Structure 1
Amino acid sequence: MQTGRIATRVLGSGPPIVLTHGTPTSSHLWRHLAPTLAETHTVHLWDLPTYGDSEGENPTIAQHAATLAELVDRWGLERPTLIGHDIGGATILRAHLLHGTPAARIALLDAAVLAPWVTPVAQHMQRYEQAYRTMPVHVFGEIVAAHLRTASVKPTEDVYLDHFAGEAGRDRYLDHVHGFCEDDTEPVVAKLAEIEVPVRVLWGAEDQWLSADTGRELAEAIPGAEFTAVPGAGHFLPEDAPGELAALLRDWLNDWLSD
């Protein structure tokens, strides 16, 4: 289990949903979606270790998945719906497929699962990590802001930049990047065909980090998975199209409840 405090929050009542954000965001990503889902479900939100208000160390997908598996067990959830964005998608799949975390349904949003998912910017930071760690913080902040502007159609970078301010924020961001490793998703990809629960793959049609073609390929690798590309949305789908995303997920979940 991850050492350090993990920030969590629960909304609503009904069948359980667990929302898992990706990088470089936090559970704040779900602020538009969670209240809608909470009208009919119990929604569990959490911040990945070292993200948002969570503490911890070793921020890798492998560690995130182990933490999620323990959280679901501690919460006593028998068959929650697991919804994950970006590396949060890989996290929920790894928890389900490698740790045996139960799931009634799975939704993957612009999920970082199929290689290559480490962006060229992140690859450059990994290659020259020491140079970035000694870079003046105002210069580093401009680089991060420019990168975040490519993640969404709507301006959203300011929502997350505060977490990466100053020397501590710069190091936190680079700790996250240091932890990106496609070895963590290889065993997940190898087991995609073993998924037996309904899966919905939702993608921003204008995603500049992971193309919609990647989403289609991911859906094709999972038995019976449905794929939908959302027009006018980028990688940060919950930021760019919260209303449409909420409607798609609500209809999907309600169809399940009425079965």
Structure 2
Amino acid sequence: MSWKLDETAETSAGTVAAGRCGSGPALVLAHGWPWSSFSWHRIIPDLARRFHVHWYDMPGYGQSDKHAEQRTSLDVQGNVFAEMLAHWDLERPIVLAHDMGGATALRAHLLHGCDFDRYVLMNVVAMRPWGSEFFDHVGRHVDAFLGLPPHIHQAVVEAYIKGAIVNDIDSGDFEKLVEPWLSEEGRGSFYRQFAQADEKYTAEIEPVFGDIRCPAKIIWGEDDPWIPLERGKALHALIPQASFETLPGVGHLPQLEAPSLVWERLNAFLSRDGEG
């Protein structure tokens, strides 16, 4: 059983590419920026031995719709996450979220009434401040970046993704992370994500993090170059009911940098009764 995108769903933000495999309790994977559901492919086989695993590419990402007038900001993504749970008829899934998938699933849970059985937040975007100086710069000058020659654009994407990772990952995995952004529509969508980023969408939910209605666990790659460990600790302070665990020597993309370690930590939490 492995990652694939062999189904589609119509959402308020366009057509979404999705997949699922395995059997058991429902588990939903929420990817972040600038990734896609492919980022989970190395842990999906382990998860699928115990769970019915669901995943999708967020609108504007991967193999889902990417078009010039499309809104793909975090408010939209939170709505689409809720729509996907309804599409799959999932009332109380386990949710595993990474990067902006954290804010996406948090909005679905705290603002849109989606209930989760358990919730894992891994190196997530969830609270202010977020976004690097480069992130802010691109957001202010999107038109200039849209005019880059294709080979320069590819170099920008590759350098940006490499900036998240502190351990070598498989070269084929790296190419698959870059690939969706290299087509003409992918290039436009890549830069629109910078332009549509707005901290107000996390500010809206920060005051109610303590209202999470299920057992939760925060997992953090200690050497994350994008979202430092201190941000993970600050998030834990706002979700005191959650357990908190770090991954030594791991960067922002644990599921590809250290998939065996991630599975080990997930398995321990998901196998435990009570609050985890």
Structure-1-length-normalised TM-score? 0.95
Deviations 1:48-83 (A, max 9, x none): 012111115211111111011011122221211111
Structure 1: runs of 5+ lacking an equivalent: none
Tell me by how many angstroms 1:184 deviates: 0.9
Aligned to 1:104: 117
Q: 1:160 aligns with which of 174, 177, 189?
A: 177
What is the SS of the residue equivalent to 1:5? strand
**Quick check: 1:123 aligned with 2:136?**
yes
Q: 1:48 aligns with which of 35, 39, 58?
A: 58
**Quick check: 1:194 aligned with 2:211?**
yes
Tell me by how many angstroms 1:166 deviates: 4.6
C-alpha distance in structure 2 between counterparts of 1:212 and 1:3, whole Å: 33
Structure 1 vs Structure 2 CA RMSD: 1.8
8 Å Cα contact 1:154-1:239 kept in structure 2: no
C-alpha distance in structure 1 between counterparts of 2:76 and 2:152, whole Å: 30
Q: 1:113 aligns with which of 89, 110, 126?
A: 126
**Quick check: 1:253 aligned with 2:266?**
no
Tell me by how many angstroms 1:182 deviates: 0.8
How many aligned residue pairs are there? 259
8 Å Cα contact 1:232-1:240 kept in structure 2: no
C-alpha distance in structure 2 between counterparts of 1:48 and 1:220, whole Å: 29
Superposed, 1:1-259 pairs within 5 Å as 1-55=11-65, 57-156=70-169, 157-256=174-273
8 Å Cα contact 1:49-1:59 kept in structure 2: yes
C-alpha distance in structure 1 between counterparts of 2:204 and 2:183, whole Å: 36
Tell me by how many angstroms 1:10 deviates: 1.1
C-alpha distance in structure 2 between counterparts of 1:71 and 1:130, whole Å: 32
Structure 2: runs of 5+ lacking an equivalent: 1-10
Matched-pair identity in %:
32
Tell me by how many angstroms 1:21 deviates: 0.4
8 Å Cα contact 1:152-1:239 kept in structure 2: no
C-alpha distance in structure 1 between counterparts of 2:157 and 2:210, whole Å: 36
Deviations 1:212-250 (A, max 9, x none): 110111011013111111012111111111000011101
Structure-2-length-normalised TM-score? 0.89
8 Å Cα contact 1:196-1:223 kept in structure 2: no
C-alpha distance in structure 2 between counterparts of 1:8 and 1:144, whole Å: 24
8 Å Cα contact 2:23-2:51 kept in structure 1: yes
What is the SS of the residue equivalent to 2:16? coil
